[in-house]
């Protein structure tokens, strides 16, 4: 499952971090949908019902746009089906923050968006998961290795880098108070610079658009698709988000014009491509939102101190 994430980049950094290549091979940087950069709030501790950055095809908003043109949008976590009849989405009686890949075609809430091509990619620094222990639960932060080969030594360095990066995130948060528009692409369609910061986790999801029965602003919401946990994560939890590893998988998941649903579903595989480290129980309370939430800790420290 996936019930808590972190996404700490400023809006313009999110745009730079998820640049992509078009079908013609040109590198592009997705713009934010009008007004959505202001709706997004960086956070070290995002829970369902919060708003997250989501990548999707621009054609969902502009039917004349190329289907492989991507756009960033702010969407609420927890899919509200378009057919939901109540006047308040909080009246939903069931949770839709996660969607099991095995059940997509069996659930009306997910089958309809899938058939409409409403596929999206949820962006995050990583996600939190809890491992049950004798008298408590130990939280872990799970994310893409930040080096190509991901050896044990490199993973340790990643963790140190993450701690250092977390301490400096206040600067990024201050930057978020400014208008967060994406950089323009050059005339050739190339992004102005290559992103060398934190590699964002790219999770497969489905989205829908709900409008109040009596009229009003449309609400865009999403669900994270989950699969069986990879071997290295099974000791923590038996489920994990369906991770899209690399630009090509992201492109194929979003390109609903070229890649039809049956082929897109084949991308939802268990992948042993994530790393993790234990974090403080501070993250257990979703109101706690500081860099300390994702900093590595020694899980044995408390036990030793209690002796």
With contact defined as beta carbons under 8 Å apart, do 122 and 203 qualify?
A: yes
Long-range pairs of 86-89 with CB within 8 A, sequence gap ≥ 24? 86/213, 87/212, 87/213, 87/214, 89/210, 89/219, 89/221
- Buried b / exposed e over 212-251, threshold 16 CB at 10 Å, is eeeeeeebbbbbbbbbebeeebeebbebbbbbbbeeebbb
For CA atoms 233, 247, 256, 217, give the dihedral sign. positive
- CA gap 301, 304 in Å, rounded: 5
Helix residue spans in 182-256 (DSSP H): 247-254
- Would you list the DSSP string of 129-171? EEEE-SSSEEEEEEE--SSSS--HHHHHHHHHHHHHHHHTHHH
Catalytic residue among 2, 99, 120, 293: 2
Q: Is 129 an annotated catalytic residue?
A: yes
Q: Is 120 an annotated catalytic residue?
A: no
SS3 state at 38: helix
Catalytic residue among 70, 129, 176, 293: 129
How many residues are there in the chain?
A: 307
Kindly list the distances between the CA atom of residue 185 and the CA atoms of 12, 17, 123, in Å, as whole numbers in the listed order. Answer: 13, 14, 21
Which positions are annotated as active-site residues? 2, 129
């Amino acid at each position: 499952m996936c019930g808590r994430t972190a996404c700490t980049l400023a809006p313009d950094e999110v745009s730079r971090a998820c640049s992509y290549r078009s079908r013609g091979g040109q590198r592009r940087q997705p713009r934010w949908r009008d007004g959505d950069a202001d709706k997004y709030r960086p956070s070290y501790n995002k829970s369902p019902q919060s708003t997250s950055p989501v990548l999707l095809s621009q054609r969902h908003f502009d039917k004349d746009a190329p289907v492989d043109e991507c756009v960033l949008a702010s969407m609420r976590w927890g899919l509200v089906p378009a057919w939901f009849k109540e006047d308040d989405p909080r009246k939903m009686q069931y949770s839709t923050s996660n969607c099991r890949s095995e059940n997509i075609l069996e659930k009306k809430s997910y089958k309809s968006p899938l058939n409409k091509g409403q596929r999206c990619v949820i962006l995050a620094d990583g996600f939190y998961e809890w491992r049950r222990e004798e008298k408590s639960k130990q939280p872990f932060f799970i994310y893409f290795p930040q080096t190509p080969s991901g050896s044990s030594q490199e993973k340790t360095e990643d963790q140190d880098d993450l701690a250092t990066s977390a301490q400096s995130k206040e600067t990024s948060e201050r930057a978020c108070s400014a208008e967060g528009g994406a950089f323009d692409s050059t005339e050739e369609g190339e992004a102005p610079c290559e992103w060398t910061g934190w590699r964002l986790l790219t999770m497969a999801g489905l989205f829908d658009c709900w409008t109040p029965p009596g009229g009003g602003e449309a609400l865009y919401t999403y669900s994270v698709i989950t699969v069986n946990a990879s071997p290295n994560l099974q000791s923590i939890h038996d489920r994990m988000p369906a991770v899209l590893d690399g630009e090509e998988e992201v492109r194929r998941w979003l390109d609903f014009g070229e890649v039809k649903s049956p082929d897109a579903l084949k991308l939802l595989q268990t992948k042993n491509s994530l790393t993790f480290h234990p974090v403080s129980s501070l993250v257990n309370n979703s109101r706690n939102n500081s860099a300390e939430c994702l900093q590595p800790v020694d899980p044995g420290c408390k036990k030793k101190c209690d002796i």
